[in-house]
């Protein structure tokens, strides 16, 4: 029996047939009439068949509810779903093979556990919607909007767009339209604290992706971080590696790009040895953490950034890192030095010229040792001897860092290395040429020990007796040691900082494994996060102040001395200074050529959490000064840097400066592209 649709078609065509036949018979010849009528009737038969087929195809088949058998959606508050789903996927197999479902399966790992399982369940309500009377029911829009407010920043962090199938306006409806809550089952398990967190997005934690970064990824991450926090961050380049890679620094400050009076400058340098990769990643994570936590209202981070100018150089040796990274991926042999100390992968330790950068700085320590019996012996602002520029190959990375150190009045610094677990401090060169492991203290031995303890004590495992040592066990020393006593080196960066500038630099050995597997990066970050922050805060110990003339103008280059410590520091451009000191009583003197020195007695309590303010006003001096009125001053040769332009080529930049961000897909892109065989461009976030 014909369907109603087919019967209507037949009726229409029969009427047409009769009309045509009558017209032809009356108006034309009868013979033609018979032929035409037969032809028209045949057409009617064909049309009946066609109409029947069309009507059958157009007749909607009743959708059937089926059990939810998708593994990532088996905990939904309902048991039956229906297809096609809300995005038009017609079968369960289509869902399982889709990028959308793959994303739900790995979203917990992508966002480091953040917003799980809410995001997954929200997605399941679209890909496997609840079946209601044979039709897909739509989830509530307000639930989607609440989840998006809380979780959007997680996608922003990994440069992923908010998934199109979680579009709250497109696939979700209001309560008036009869929606349901896809998180209903989850609500019953939530504690009051969880519920409070769901409506307080400002309390969300910073999400970090614990992966290794290529050089391009490193640069892009730093630039995006600075762009996300433009009021407190900026990036700048101090030079290039031997193979032309930018040595990029990210700075955090309440006034990026400018030195503020009485705001101390502190720096971290990592990846000096290309095969020591952990410090490089820790500084990338630290940059993202400072930016994100500042925006989230973390009071500690806001105080630190607003009162300190922080500089992070994640990679001093990007060329060596690329070589070491390739070696680590292939799996290399572990090496040990002559005394059995763990060396890890040696490939990539040096720069592109195979120069060990931590042996490439001027050896000012030997000069300091040779003059220690002179009356006016000094261990600060020792000029770089001209012989240095002719006696060895100066690496472009070393050249760039020296210029950087000389251009900014750094107060405190740490260089992050790997291969052991300790903090070492200057001097790093033994004071006796035949005793390589001889205790060789600086005049600031107590200050250095105090600073080293800040990092070691704040580290989760550095001082623990339960930590397995890499070779020698330093836990009995509290995880700290004098550099020369541990491992004597000539031409190191830490000694150069101390003897050539105001900066106190320590060396942090982050662990036995120089290039740990990615799965260990999270624990390494947790081990070091508190120590990294505490060390930055330690720059606010000791005293700070201004050295001015009688008219209140700052005196640049004035010398601040502490009785009993034969190491002076000098004032910056505007006459401000910072002097790291231990608690106790100190006699501090400020002096400058052409002025009468001024002396003050200072008491620093043990529990003082910020630098004491000590200002000096110097009076003009008479012309006839006695010998006892000798005023120390920076040697006239101090400003000589590459005096014969031996390495001027290092200052030349390419015409096409790399201010434009290099385009590289995010780290997660290849996983989705390979897994599905498609290019899911909808996952890419458009900046």
Between CA 400 and CA 408 the distance in angstroms is 13
- Phi-psi sector, 477: left (phi>0), alpha (psi -120 to 50), beta: alpha
139 SS3 class: strand
**By the 8 A CB rule, do 236 and 186 touch?**
no
**By the 8 A CB rule, do 568 and 591 touch?**
no
> Which of 448, 16, 508 minimizes the C-alpha distance to 286?
508
Q: How far is CA 582 from CA 140, 153, 448, 477, in A?
A: 61, 42, 9, 19
Q: Phi and psi (nearest 5°) for 566?
A: -85, 60
Question: How many beta carbons lie within 10 A of that of residue 295, not counting itself?
Answer: 17
Between CA 577 and CA 520 the distance in angstroms is 41
In this structure, the dihedral spanned by the alpha carbons of residues 8, 14, 16 and 21, taken in order and rounded to 10 degrees, is 180
509 among known catalytic residues: yes
Q: How many CA atoms lie within 13 A of 270 on its CB side?
A: 30
Measured CA angle at 197 (ends 193, 200), to 5 deg: 140
625: CB partners within 8 A, 6+ apart: 631
Choosing from 265, 327, 505, 509, which is the catalytic residue? 509
Own/partner long-range contacts of 592-595 (Cβ < 8 Å, ≥24 apart): 592/547, 592/555, 592/557, 592/558, 592/559, 592/618, 592/631, 592/633, 593/631, 593/633, 594/620, 594/621, 595/549, 595/555, 595/558, 595/619, 595/620, 595/621, 595/631
Burial of 152 (0-12, 13-18, 19+ CB in 10 A): middle
**By the 8 A CB rule, do 443 and 566 touch?**
yes
511 SS3 class: strand
**By the 8 A CB rule, do 477 and 463 touch?**
no
**By the 8 A CB rule, do 442 and 427 touch?**
yes
Q: Phi and psi (nearest 5°) for 14?
A: -65, -45
State the angle between helix axes of 299-307 and 521-537 in degrees (0 to 180), rounded to the nearest 10. Answer: 50
Between CA 591 and CA 593 the distance in angstroms is 7
Catalytic annotation, residues: 509
């Amino acid at each position: 029996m014909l369907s109603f649709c087919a019967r209507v078609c037949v009726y229409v065509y029969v009427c047409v047939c009769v009309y045509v036949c009558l017209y032809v018979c009356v108006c034309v010849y009868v013979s033609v009439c018979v032929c035409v009528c037969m032809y028209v009737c045949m057409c009617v038969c064909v049309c009946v068949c066609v109409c029947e087929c069309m009507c059958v195809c157009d007749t909607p088949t009743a959708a059937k509810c089926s059990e939810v058998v998708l593994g990532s959606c088996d905990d939904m508050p309902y048991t039956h779903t229906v297809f096609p789903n809300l995005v038009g996927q017609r079968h369960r197999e289509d869902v399982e093979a889709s990028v959308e479902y793959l994303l739900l399966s790995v979203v917990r790992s992508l966002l480091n556990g953040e917003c799980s399982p809410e995001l997954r369940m929200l997605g399941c309500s679209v890909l496997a919607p609840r079946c209601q009377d044979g039709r897909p029911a739509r989830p509530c829009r307000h639930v989607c909007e609440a989840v998006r407010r809380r979780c959007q920043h997680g996608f922003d962090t990994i440069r992923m767009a908010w998934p199109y199938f979680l579009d709250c306006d497109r696939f979700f409806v209001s309560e008036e339209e009869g929606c349901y809550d896809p998180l209903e089952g989850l609500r019953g398990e939530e504690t009051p604290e969880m519920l409070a967190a769901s409506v307080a997005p400002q309390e969300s934690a910073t999400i970090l992706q614990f992966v290794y970064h290529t050089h391009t990824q490193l640069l892009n991450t730093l630039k995006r971080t600075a762009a996300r926090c433009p009021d407190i961050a900026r990036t700048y380049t101090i030079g290039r590696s031997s193979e032309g890679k930018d040595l990029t620094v990210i700075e955090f400050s309440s006034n990026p790009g400018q030195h503020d009076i009485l705001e101390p400058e502190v720096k971290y340098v990592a990846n000096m040895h290309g095969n020591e990769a952990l410090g490089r990643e820790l500084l990338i994570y630290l940059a993202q953490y400072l930016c994100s936590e500042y925006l989230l209202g973390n009071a500690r981070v806001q105080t630190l950034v607003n009162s300190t100018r922080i500089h992070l150089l994640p990679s001093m040796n990007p060329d060596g890192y690329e070589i070491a990274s390739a070696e680590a991926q292939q799996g290399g042999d572990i090496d040990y030095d002559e005394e059995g100390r763990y060396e890890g992968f040696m490939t990539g330790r040096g720069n592109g010229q195979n120069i060990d950068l931590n042996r490439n700085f001027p050896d000012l320590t030997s000069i300091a040792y040779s003059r220690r019996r002179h009356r006016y012996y000094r261990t600060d602002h020792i000029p770089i001897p001209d012989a240095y520029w002719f006696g060895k190959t100066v690496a472009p990375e070393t050249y760039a860092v020296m210029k950087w150190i000389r251009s900014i009045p750094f107060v405190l610094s740490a260089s992050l290395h790997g291969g052991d677990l300790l903090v070492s401090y200057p001097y790093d060169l033994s004071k006796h040429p035949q005793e390589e492991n001889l205790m060789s203290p600086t005049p600031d031995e107590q200050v250095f020990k105090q600073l080293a303890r800040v990092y070691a004590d704040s580290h989760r495992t550095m001082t623990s007796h339960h930590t397995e040592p890499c070779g020698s066990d330093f836990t009995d020393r509290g995880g700290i040691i004098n550099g020369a006593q541990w491992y004597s080196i000539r031409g190191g960066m830490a000694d150069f900082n101390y003897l050539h500038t105001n900066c106190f630099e320590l060396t942090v050995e982050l662990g036995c494994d120089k290039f740990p597997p990615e799965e260990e990066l999270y624990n390494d970050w947790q081990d070091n996060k508190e120590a990294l922050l505490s060390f930055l805060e330690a720059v606010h110990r000791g005293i700070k102040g201004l050295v001015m003339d009688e008219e209140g103008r700052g005196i640049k280059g004035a010398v601040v001395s502490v009785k009993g410590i034969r190491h002076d520091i000098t004032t910056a451009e505007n006459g401000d200074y910072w002097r790291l000191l231990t608690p106790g009583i100190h006699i501090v003197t400020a002096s400058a050529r052409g002025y009468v020195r001024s002396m003050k007695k200072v008491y620093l309590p043990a529990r003082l959490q910020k630098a004491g303010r000590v200002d000096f006003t110097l009076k003009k001096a008479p012309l006839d000064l006695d010998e006892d009125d000798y005023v120390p001053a920076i040697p006239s040769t101090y400003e000589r840097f590459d005096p014969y332009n031996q390495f001027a080529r290092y200052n030349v930049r390419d015409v096409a400066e790399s201010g434009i961000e290099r385009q590289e897909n995010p780290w997660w892109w290849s996983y989705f592209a390979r897994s599905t065989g498609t290019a899911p461009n909808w996952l890419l976030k458009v900046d």
